Amino acid sequence: MDVLNDLMGGFGSAFSPLHLLLAFAGCTLGSLVGVLPGLGPATTVALLLPLTFVFDPTGALVLFAGIYYGGMYGGSTTAILLNVPGETASVPTTLEGHPMARSGRAGAALATAAIGSFVAGTISTVGITFAGPAMARIAEKIQPAEYFAVMVLAFATVTAVVAEAPARGLCSLFLGLAIGLVGIDSLTGQARYTFGVPELYDGVQIVAVAVGLFAIGEALYTAARLRRAPEERMLPVGGRIGMGPEDWRRSWKPWLRGTAIGLPIGALPAGGAEIPTFLSYNVEKRLSRHKKEFGKGAIEGVAGPEAANNAAFSGVLMPLLTLGIPTSATAGVLLIAFQMYNVQPGPQLFETQSALVWTLIASLYIGNVMLLVLNLPLIPLWVKLLRLPRPLLTAGILVFAALGVYALSQNAVDLGIAVLFGLLGFGMRRTGYPVAPLILGAVLGPMAETQFRRAMAFSEGDWTVFFTRPLSAAILCLSLIALAGPMAARALRRTRAREPNPAG
Amino acid sequence: MPPLLRNGPRLAMVAALVATVSSACTIGSLDDSGAVADYPSRGLSILAPGSVGGGWDSRARGIGSALTTCRTIDEDVTVTNAPGAGGTIGLARMAGRGGDPYQLMTMDTVTMIGGALQNHSPVKLSELTPVAGLTVSTSAIVVPARSPFHDLRSVLAAMRKDPKRTSWVGGSLGGPDHITVAGLAKAEGIPARKVTYVPTGGGGEVLNLLLSGASKVGLSTLTEVRPQIEAGKLRVLAVSGDKAPEGIDAPTLGELGYGDEAVVSVGGVMAPPGLSDDEQRAIVRVVDRMRRTSCWKRALRQNDWKSVWVPGKTYGALIDKQQHQVGQALTSVGLGS
Amino acid sequence: MSAYDETVSAREEARSPRDDAANPARNDAANPARNDAANPARDGAANPANDAPDGAVPPDERLWGPRIAALLFLAAGVAVLGWAFAIPEGAIEQDVGPRAFPLLVGVGLCVAASVAVVQAFRGSDPALTEQAREEARLTEWRPVAALLALLVCYLFALAPCGYWQSTAVLFALVARVLGSRRTLRDALIGLVLALAVYFLFDRLLGIHLPPGIVRLAF
């Protein structure tokens, strides 16, 4: 089989000493940064971006695969031990994992998270291996009209993700879109929102935006509350890290269910990781025979969402690699990394950069194994890291945030932009505005505009092109459903709430 | 810890601060005697006017490693980056280093001239001291295999009939591909701004837009479309350069009578303005030694660059000529000025 | 559909996890219960402050955060829209010019921000109200301003003073602003960290960092 041959080729390249070393370094560094409180995978990838500059594209992407997964593993450790989720998708882990840690079962929680992530990551990578090339072949037929429709769908699902506060979520998304507009218009050469600053002509550096919003924003937030908010208590890892037979029995089904939920939703060109993790949490809560334990440390509530999170993360790579469309903030930062190496993900990637793609996929397998083998024994080390005084940790985060931005362009303007976005991220966080839509808007916005205008250029100004092409019309209909669905759901709940016995 | 410091954290802080800052900001003077005979007598710095990892950056790093790894020179080489505004931020920085023969910059002729025009750069590329042109890439005009066009003439005939419908896709706005299309239109008497030209980020996107049937004709560097040509998915109508490379069955633009319309962007090295002829020659000699090393040949192979050698004043003359050509082409498509 | 419904509720349950972290005692009992209590309240009540868990603080007093934020978003929307008209259309013939999307984004931002302004001033989102009250109680502005000032100084100091020098100072001062009292130790850690980064990037990875005026021997 072609796929297996390609994959074997990929493994051949991934098993070279340099690539193994890079995968190892990526996993370790990813976990190291991901474990820092408040730093999720998107920030981890953005912070470690400059480390990859000096390698050839393949080596750099192998390093990235490690950082990507490592950031997530590290994030679940913080969620369980500190009750601090690195991003929205790890909130369910805090709901069950932290109570488990408080009752002395941190070892089991960490183990089920790690093993669940491994299971989900591996199954999902198998999925990418076989579905990726197929999807790329379909994607070859896709024209700008469809690309635009897919991005509309992505925007629609983002608003669904922020459904609990649609107005604020949309504010964030539109501000991101506005930031994406800055720079010289690639289709007409006209300067937009540059105010005569030459450093802005090529647009605002997304890495500066991401690092500013997440890392510097986090540092400011910590600074604001350091003295008044009671410090998060680091919970000790009780007992050994591992699971008893009962834990295994209660974990394996949630792992598989989590994977089954996470992979397809993540792989949709509009996925993201938030919906599947919360969905998985609810499914486990409903199916569990230990319903009463939920909220007090039910292992299913860690196993399922962690697996779903990891599966969705791998799934997100599908639209990223085959269409070049990032559907989560982390994928957005990854896309920047690809582009920095002049690797343009898209339908042609599997063909034109076959060796690179398959090495990347092979290193996803390797990274998963490495993290399982590495991460569990290294947890005591991460715990020590988390015990560092908060002022030093925060100072370190700031140093690396500044380094990440500065090393990229070597000018202070980008650093200034990052500081501005840090202030913005801090303000948004205090006032209940989600920041992930902003990043996604800033990355996807320019792509959507370009595809829209290309479609119009090719159709010679005929607006109906988006509806006369069947695929484009179908995707736009889906977007409408994604937009209207949550509203209908809310309306329905409102009706139910008016009834005398509201359904709990 | 001494009691003084333990008791006075504020004092300790001030002490640490003062110590570090004073060590940081002690003024040291650098020896700047540059006798041409022993050039380079200290480390060289190469500026890449783009981000780390991009095309100009990889050329700067390729030259840097060929200079040091293959021991062309004994001094070190530092690569710095000044991305932004189509390279004009780097261009301005070079202009500010007038008279310094130790500061070099990598660039591409047409791309950088176009970038400077479009970004209203106060500095022109021709103000810098030309060192040498080192690389070119062959570009190709391609159509999908099932396209009705079998030669460039039929494409141009269709363009004459309906310039809007015959949509072109290629590299960035005002770049070499765009200028070639504008030149072809002009030669056929079609107003260049009527032609639909869709700029992209390059290779992969061009392929996708052609193979999905969205665009009719495409321009790309040959290396990026070669696998699809060999697989029979794309047909080459013409290539740039003096002769078609091996295995490619297509006429060159020159053979078709459009030699003047095709602009070839020559990648190379520039030095700051205000250098003496001796200094310029010294730098050219170093670059000439560099391009003969096995390190540079390996870099050429890895990046699929085709080697050329356009030293010193010849490179300057080429830049002057292209400055004029690019300026006219951009005006004709409605860009620049 | 019901699964989605619950997804949304679970997220509400989990919102502002930091607050829960700050108050672990509340975590156990309040979290599952809050969901059921909050839902009808949000949908029905016009004056949610009455339903807030601790009604001691008058709602208007501490809610300026969300209001200012919403107004700033609205201002940004107006600015995006206003400046969109200043974009030249360009000489290239196009069906959709460079102005179309900026106008669309400007309008979208204005509309979303207007809704947010109305919500913030009416206080119609109890979860936000509670969060804002909590934030207002816990926020100290001085360290935030100090950190921002430090970062701004840092970005101006980098090129003239050099990477490792400025970074060491930044590290020590940030730690101090955040309450660390062992400044000498922090300065040493900062110095070692900065030198390690400088060595790794500038010397090993070949990514240029400003050396400052004093050059290192190695």
Share of chain C above pLDDT 70, in %: 67
In a domain, B258, yes or no: no
Q: Does A202 touch chain B (CB under 8 A)?
A: yes
Secondary structure of A252-275 in HEC code, one letter for each residue = HHHHHHHHHHHHHHHHCCCCCCHH
pLDDT digits (tens, 9 = 90+) for B59-75: 888 898 888 888 888 88
Residue B5 makes CB contacts below 8 A (sequence gap 6+) with B11, B12, B15, C184
In a domain, A501, yes or no: no
> Which residues span the domain enclosing B93?
38-137+265-333
Interface residue of A90, A168, A459, A494 to substitute, partner C, most C CBs within 10 Å = A168
Q: How far apart are CA B178 and CA B322, in angstroms?
A: 14
The answer to whether the CB atoms of A410 and C95 lie below 8 A apart is no
pLDDT given for residue C110 in this prediction:
95
Q: Can you list the alpha helix ranges (DSSP code H) found in B100-219? A: 109-118, 152-161, 176-187, 203-211
Say whether pLDDT at A375 is over 80. Answer: no
Q: How far apart are CA A15 and CA A17, in angstroms?
A: 6
Task: Give the chain C residue nearest B333 (alpha carbons).
Answer: C92
Element (H, E) at C31: helix C24-44
Residue in A91, A223, A230 nearest the CB of C17 = A91
- Strand arrangement, sheet containing B234-239: B197-199, B168-170, B217-221, B139-144, B234-239
Q: What is the mean pLDDT of residues C6-25?
A: 39
In a domain, B156, yes or no: yes
Residues of C in contact with B193 (CB under 8 A): 91-93
pLDDT given for residue A269 in this prediction:
66
Residues B281 and B309 in one domain: yes
Least confident of A296-300, B50-54, C109-113: B50-54
pLDDT given for residue A162 in this prediction:
62
Say whether pLDDT at A483 is over 50. Answer: yes
In a domain, A135, yes or no: yes
Task: Give the chain B residue nearest A412 (alpha carbons).
Answer: B82
Residue with tokens 């870099």: B299
Q: What is the mean pLDDT of residues A370-374?
A: 85
Least confident of A123-127, B11-15, B154-158: B11-15
pLDDT given for residue C36 in this prediction:
36
Residue in C173, C176, C214 nearest the CB of B26 = C214
The answer to whether the CB atoms of B27 and C169 lie below 8 A apart is no
Contact (CB, 8 A) for C214 and C160: no
Q: How far apart are CA B178 and CA B263, in angstroms?
A: 10
The answer to whether the CB atoms of A143 and B214 lie below 8 A apart is yes
Amino acid at A208: A
Q: Does B232 touch chain A (CB under 8 A)?
A: no
What is the full DSSP assignment across A402-466? HHHHHHHH--HHHHHHHHHHHHHHHHHHHTT--SHHHHHHHHHHHHHHHHHHHHHHHTTS-TTHH
- Which of the two residues, C206 and B320, has the higher pLDDT score? B320
Helix, strand or coil, per DSSP, at residue B107: strand
Q: Does A246 touch chain B (CB under 8 A)?
A: no
Q: What is the mean pLDDT of residues A437-463?
A: 88
Task: Give the chain B residue nearest A141 (alpha carbons).
Answer: B212
Residue in B165, B173, B209 nearest the CB of A189 = B173
The closest of A316, A371, A381, A378 to A115, measured between CA atoms, is: A371
- Which of the two residues, B12 and A233, has the higher pLDDT score? A233
Interface residue of A91, A173, A392 to substitute, partner C, most C CBs within 10 Å = A392
* pTM confidence score: 0.80
Q: Can you list the alpha helix ranges (DSSP code H) found in A103-165? A: 106-139, 144-161
Q: What is the mean pLDDT of residues A486-499?
A: 72
Interface residue of B13, B46, B51, B123 to substitute, partner A, most A CBs within 10 Å = B51
Q: What is the mean pLDDT of residues A177-197?
A: 86
Residues linked to residue B45 through DSSP beta bridges, in sequence order: B78, B103
Residues B114 and B193 in one domain: no
Residues of C in contact with A222 (CB under 8 A): 178
User: Which range has highest mean pLDDT (A302-306, A370-374, B224-228)?
Assistant: A302-306
Least confident of A102-111, A473-482, B79-88, B261-270: B79-88
Q: How far apart are CA A87 and CA A85, in angstroms?
A: 5
The answer to whether the CB atoms of A399 and C13 lie below 8 A apart is no
Residue in A83, A403, A453 nearest the CB of C21 = A83
Say whether pLDDT at B50 is over 50. Answer: yes
Residue in A282, A449, A460 nearest the CB of C10 = A282
Confidence of residue B21 (pLDDT cuts 50, 70, 90): very low
Q: How many CB atoms lie within 10 A of CB B57?
A: 23
The answer to whether the CB atoms of B9 and C183 lie below 8 A apart is yes
Q: Which residues of C touch B (CB under 8 A)?
A: 90-93, 160-162, 165-166, 168-169, 172-173, 176, 181-184, 187, 191, 206-208, 212-215
Q: Does A355 touch chain B (CB under 8 A)?
A: no
Q: What is the mean pLDDT of residues C164-186?
A: 91
Give me the torsion for CA of C184, A35, A436, A433, rounded to 10°.
Answer: -60
> Which residues span the domain enclosing A153?
2-493
Contact (CB, 8 A) for A440 and A176: yes
Q: Does A340 touch chain B (CB under 8 A)?
A: yes
CATH code, domain with B111: 3.40.190.150
In a domain, B254, yes or no: no
Amino acid at B268: G
Q: Where are the beta strands (DSSP E) in B158-242?
A: 168-170, 197-199, 217-221, 234-239
Residues of B in contact with C194 (CB under 8 A): none
pLDDT given for residue C29 in this prediction:
35
Say whether pLDDT at C4 is over 80. Answer: no
Q: How far apart are CA B117 and CA A9, in angstroms?
A: 46
Burial string for C136-164 (b: 16+ CB within 10 Å, else e) reads eebbeeebbebbbebbeebbebbeebbbb
Task: Give the chain A residue nearest B198 (alpha carbons).
Answer: A454
The answer to whether the CB atoms of C197 and A399 lie below 8 A apart is yes
Residue in A178, A278, A419 nearest the CB of C151 = A419
Residues of C in contact with B17 (CB under 8 A): 169, 172-173, 187
Residues of C in contact with B13 (CB under 8 A): 172-173, 176, 183-184, 187
Q: How many CB atoms lie within 10 A of CB A475?
A: 24
pLDDT digits (tens, 9 = 90+) for A198-241: 778 878 888 889 889 888 998 898 888 877 766 666 666 656 77
Helix, strand, coil share of chain A (percent; to 5): 75, 0, 25
Share of chain A above pLDDT 90, in %: 13
The C-alpha of C156 sits at a distance from chain A's nearest C-alpha, in angstroms, of 7
Residue in B21, B78, B194 nearest the CB of C165 = B21
In a domain, B257, yes or no: no
pLDDT given for residue A291 in this prediction:
81
Residues linked to residue C57 through DSSP beta bridges, in sequence order: none
Chains with ≥3 CB–CB distances under 8 Å to B: A, C
Interface residue of B25, B193, B195 to substitute, partner C, most C CBs within 10 Å = B25
pLDDT digits (tens, 9 = 90+) for B244-263: 888 888 899 888 888 777 77
User: Which range has highest mean pLDDT (A8-12, B128-132, C135-139)?
Assistant: B128-132
Residues of A in contact with C178 (CB under 8 A): 222-223, 226, 390-391, 394-395
Q: What is the mean pLDDT of residues A406-430?
A: 89
Residues of B in contact with C171 (CB under 8 A): none
Residue in B13, B26, B333 nearest the CB of C172 = B13
pLDDT given for residue A142 in this prediction:
85
pLDDT given for residue A1 in this prediction:
56
Chains with ≥3 CB–CB distances under 8 Å to C: A, B
- Which of the two residues, B123 and C95, has the higher pLDDT score? B123
User: Which range has highest mean pLDDT (A68-77, A101-110, B125-134)?
Assistant: B125-134
pLDDT given for residue B298 in this prediction:
87
Say whether pLDDT at B243 is over 60. Answer: yes
Residues of B in contact with C212 (CB under 8 A): 24-25
CATH code, domain with B154: 3.40.190.10
Q: Does B317 touch chain A (CB under 8 A)?
A: no
A320 alpha-carbon distance from chain centroid: 12
Mean pLDDT computed over every residue of chain A:
84
pLDDT given for residue B13 in this prediction:
47
Contact (CB, 8 A) for B186 and A326: no
Say whether pLDDT at C136 is over 90. Answer: no
Q: Does A403 touch chain B (CB under 8 A)?
A: no
Residue in A186, A201, A407 nearest the CB of B199 = A186
Mean pLDDT computed over every residue of chain C:
73
User: Which residue ranges make up each domain of chain C?
Assistant: 64-122, 141-205
Confidence of residue B3 (pLDDT cuts 50, 70, 90): very low
Residues B145 and B235 in one domain: yes
Contact (CB, 8 A) for C163 and C51: no
Q: Does B145 touch chain A (CB under 8 A)?
A: no
Residues of B in contact with A148 (CB under 8 A): none
The answer to whether the CB atoms of A352 and B207 lie below 8 A apart is yes
The answer to whether the CB atoms of B85 and A199 lie below 8 A apart is yes
